[in-house]
Amino acid sequence: MKNLAILLVDDEPSIVNSLRGSLEDEGHILLTASDGNRALEIVKSHPVDIIFLDIWLPGMDGIQTLKAVKDFDSSIDVVMMTGHGTVNTAVQAVKHGAFDFLEKPFSLDAVIDIIKKIKEKQQMTGKGSPGLKATDSRDELPALSGNSLAIVKVMEEIKCAAAGKGHVLLLGETGTGKEHAAQLIHAGAGFKKKTFAKINCAFLTQEELSAKLFGDIQHGKNGLLAAEGAGVLFLQALDTLSPDMQKRLAEQLSQMPHKEGSLRVVGATIKTGHESALQNVLIKSFQQTILLPPLRERRSDIPAMLNAFLGQFSKEYGFREKQFDDESLELLVNYDWPGNVKELKNLTEKIAVSVPTKAISVQDIPSSLREEAQHTTSRYYEQFPSMTDAEAAWRKNYLLYHLRKNDRNVAKTAGEIHVREKELKKLIKEYGIALAKENPSGKRLQRTLKRAMVVSGQGLHSGDKTGLILTPLPPGSGIIFGNISSDDTIPASIDYVVSTDYSTCLQNTNSTARTIEHCLATLHAYRITNLMIKINNEVPIMDGSAVDFCKMIEDAGIEEQDASAYDIVLTEKFVLGDVNGAKKYMIVEPAEQFSIHYKLQYPKPVGRQEYTFVMHDEESFKKEIAPARTFGFLRDIEALQERGLASGGKLNNFILIDNEKIVNTELRFPDEFVRHKILDMIGDFYLLGRPIRARITANMTGHTDNTTLVRMIRDRMHL
């Protein structure tokens, strides 16, 4: 069970660190990523055998990452880690191709047992492990075929390199065919019957690599660089070497003889240009450097490559000959292929195996690729009806970029882009670019988060382990709740409210979002207008307050977007209930800013409480309202539990009250109960979809009253 390449994908460092040490002790090669996008980058640049993948990840969640991994390479075994999921979520993961799932916290023995099962399966199917390898027969597939000028130039350079005697450095994006180029140099140099060995430097420790390359003097063993006789040693991922190791390798290469019949080294990097960590001293030790172009720079080669790979794989798997139809071919040619030839090869193999018909249509292309292809350069250009429109869009984006960079400072931006300030102001007005962060008319800028965030917790009513993934959305998207187990979404709108008995709940045909009020209250206070909130049916209760939600938003950072957002400005007074005689009532009337005056009267030990909150900014919310926790009376909790609710109520996330006293905690405010009622109301009123300028006076109202009045405002104002 040695030398398996295992990728751990989790944004909790404690999980990664605990697994890293244990699995490295078992002899495995460990790679790590904290989000789905980084995981895909690694999968597309390194041979990976197993992925341990957390479901709750920032940005692209675990289920989406699983689908993307399987679309890229279906042979990679993925184990889902469902610390905050349910059995249903895990079942969905298995349906999408996961090998198995682990529920956190899990034991090391459980992890080792799953790895053992995967290893046995891989041995049966013939899948190998990374390290020092002989040539794979699939490397003979036409990774560098084509007739474009870019590839013709590269093939000439490879031919020249093969005829020479020096060491060769191959540069290029992941998947551009660097290994195939090394094999062509090996074959072209007349080394077909000689050694072609390859080492992926990323999969070995510096000590292991030193022993392989330079030998072990203490034990009298020579390294590969001291080997006599002709052949090619292909060193992948040179830019992962430490600076000291790069310097030592450069010295060794400069001392090796450049003559016929001697070993030649072909090196390659993972990254290129300024992103690469390759040192100049090592670059200079190679006699020739070849840059392999990405597929998007030689699109004319893609049709021939697709058909060649399709023919090869159909023959290999014993299927009849297949062919892409014109529409599917056009889509694939217009796709940008971030994984380059490697991605194209993996996709073609997947299609060859999975599509039963001779003709391959657009619907046979994986949905993730189809969706991404809609955003490629060619389709971007097609959205503009004329060159004038395209130029205007480019100019606006150019100005927006520099204005954002200079914090909307017009004078500074004008100097940076070499235009007169007067001219820049004219362009800003022409393109409708908003500079002011807010103005008294109620017009503001839309807001989202600067980055995705993940928080884990427990549902108050269900008791299920759950979590929260916040993902930025573009202007005009609104606040949307999504389900981690499916692609279903629910807008945070009053139209979808189905229950308000003990918390606010949204529901559509296939999905539910429960206990949303604390999360929405925080978004209301911070004026976040565009956001995807993925949950597992219920928003986690955290400590019963909104403090953790505030921290989450501040950790992510707020991004103001170049689109207008208007406050709801009331023009009439709204009344619910009988103000003079009823125990419950609510009044909402026009005002310059949002404020709530709330009164409650409960039996002791709560008693009568009254508080006025004015939403000056997020700081006032964070200080006065956010810390107030959910509360309940012991008799109500018992009734809820009989109905299967409040299963997640714990001593640390709930203020529990019996007939005489508070049972489980010290209050954060003397009037914490009334402040919590205001917290709930701030959340419920954000179901209007945007902030409202109003003065609210309420007495003993709850979620049902809040949402009733929100509907009244929506209907009368035609929002």
Under DSSP, is residue 632 helix (H, G, I), strand (E, B) or coil?
strand
Length of the chain: 719
HSE on the CB side for 548, CA within 13 Å? 17
Closest CA to 530 of 470, 469, 450, 447: 447
Q: How many CB atoms lie within 10 A of CB 142?
A: 16
As a whole number of angstroms, the distance between CA 528 and CA 686 comes to 10
Please enumerate in sequence order all residues whose Cβ is within 8 A of that of 585, keeping only pairs 6 or more positions apart, or say none. Answer: 575, 576, 577, 578, 579, 698, 699, 701
Tokens for 516, please give them. Answer: 């949303």
Cβ atoms 239, 275 nearer than 8 A: no
- Rounded to 5 degrees, what angle do the CA atoms 298, 304, 305 make? 75
Cβ atoms 398, 416 nearer than 8 A: no
As a whole number of angstroms, the distance between CA 82 and CA 61 comes to 12
As a whole number of angstroms, the distance between CA 91 and CA 484 comes to 12
Please enumerate in sequence order all residues whose Cβ is within 8 A of that of 207, keeping only pairs 6 or more positions apart, or say none. Answer: none
Is 84 catalytic? The answer is: no
Tokens for 205, please give them. Answer: 């420790």
AA letter at 572: E
As a whole number of angstroms, the distance between CA 641 and CA 462 comes to 10
Q: How many CB atoms lie within 10 A of CB 440?
A: 6
Please enumerate in sequence order all residues whose Cβ is within 8 A of that of 536, keeping only pairs 6 or more positions apart, or say none. Answer: 84, 85, 86, 89, 459, 464, 465, 466, 467, 483, 484, 485
**Concatenated DSSP letters of 421-469:** HHHHHHHHHHTT----SB-TTSEEEEEEESS-EEEEEEBTTT--EEEEE
CA separation, residue 482 to residues 10, 205, 329, 488, 542 (Å): 20, 42, 33, 6, 19
Q: In what order do the strands lie in the sheet with 489-491?
A: 453-458, 465-472, 531-535, 479-483, 489-491
Name the region of 693 (left: φ>0; alpha: ψ -120 to 50; beta: rest): beta
Chain position carrying tokens 């179901």: 687
Which residue is catalytic, options 28, 180, 524, 703?
Answer: 703
Q: Which residues are catalytic?
A: 703
